[in-house]
Amino acid sequence: MKVVKIGLLGLGTVGGGTVNVLAKNAEDISRRSNCQIIVSSASARDITRTRICDTDTIQLTTNSQEVVNDPDIQIVVELMGGEEPAKSLILQALANGKHVVTANKALIANHGNELFAEAVKNNVTLAYEAAIAGGIPIVKAMREGLSANSIEWLAGIINGTGNFILTEMRDKGSAFDDVLAQAQELGYAEADPEYDVEGIDAAHKLCILASLAFGMPLNFERVYTEGISKVTPLDVTYAEELGYRIKHLGVAKKAGNGVEMRVHPTLIPEKRLIANVDGVMNAVVVKGNAVGTTLYYGPGAGAEATASAVIADIVDICRQLGAPSDHAVPALGFSSDQLNELPILPIEEITSAYYLRLSVEDKPGVMAAMTKILADNGISIEAVLQKEPEQHGANAQVILLTDSVLEKSLITALQQIESLDSINQPAVRIRVESLQ
């Protein structure tokens, strides 16, 4: 049986998990790949640290160059994260004729076009299943399992930290800041949680999913990104009363005049399966024109869950060793000469339904004035909740669900509503997706 030597760049949680799963499932992995896969070397900042895996048979080094330049290593697995030195090391490994597996979503989203071109140039593979949704094999599903379809749209809960926070806010009525602190204590959120709670991490993943879906180059800078830090327990409660749940969703959709790519809090009907994805779990819904709607669910992080995706890529590469490079599945599912530069719609040009919460003075005529402004801007109301003030002189809460409307029309209407004397706070606006 052929021996394939692996070099790891990074031996933290996912690196350690990869070593453990390769050892635990060695027989099945060898049978599937027809190779004996050996972790030969690994680089880490501190090689004296206690690890979650056995490193007795692994050559450890603090010098990552030793791994990418080792002539015996056929596959380099980058699990160090960040853009540099990861990007330079991957480019060097590709130039050395080595296949590369990475879990680095930020690197793929920001530099994937360059990295994939370099892989093609050197007749090697750059694989990245673990970069999106942890252990869920969504890249393989999109790229291969759904290849008969024209993808119409996809929507995903693709950040476990944000999903945990919104779940706790719903279940316990806690405020965002309190649940964030809890998530940090549990290790779900970083000390600096910006990438998770402000949507940047999800935007990286959505960018890649959109390119897989629509056969276009990666365009991370064009993803509209909005976080969950302004979601309040009040809105979570009112959404429930209306039959919806608030999720932090990444949405990519074909529209008549372009492609939508957006990450933001979203109301989803509570009867949808994805609305019931709770805690740190991830899920992606994909609508293909042949298959219809399919759902992919599972753990979005974790040592062995993510290692499962890393090793799946390693197995795929082992299966194609020695085969002509043009037999490999293209990185984004389409050959580079088949990728199309599609127009990306600005957020003002998207069409959506909306949840609106307005704090209004409790006096006659306010509701009539608001509904007239909405009607004048071509906006229909699907549902209304009115919450009386809790004490004399306080503002009432009016909650509206609108029909689908162009966002710039809604913006115009809200500007007019907020100029009314009876409105003294900015409206709360959350998009609504039916996911049908």
- Catalytic positions are 205
User: Phi and psi of 195, rounded to 5°?
Assistant: -60, -35
d(CA 131, CA 145): 18
> What are the C-alpha distances in Å from 368 to residues 138, 363, 365, 409, 420?
48, 11, 5, 19, 12
Are the C-beta atoms of 109 and 207 separated by less than 8 Å? Answer: yes
Q: Which residues does 130 contact at the CB level (< 8 Å), separation at least 6?
A: 14, 101, 102, 103, 306, 307, 309, 310, 313
Question: Alpha-carbon Rg of the chain, whole angstroms?
Answer: 24
Please state whether beta strands 244-255 and 151-157 pair in parallel, antiparallel, or not at all (unpaired).
antiparallel
Pairing of strands 396-402, 405-406: unpaired
Give Cα 151 to chain centroid, integer Å. Answer: 17
* Cis, bond preceding 217 (omega within 30 deg of 0): no
Q: Let me know if 258 is exposed, middle or buried by CB neighbors in 10 A (0-12, 13-18, 19+).
A: middle
Closest CA to 61 of 43, 48, 38: 43
Give 3-state DSSP helix, strand, coil % of the chain, rounded to 5.
40, 25, 35
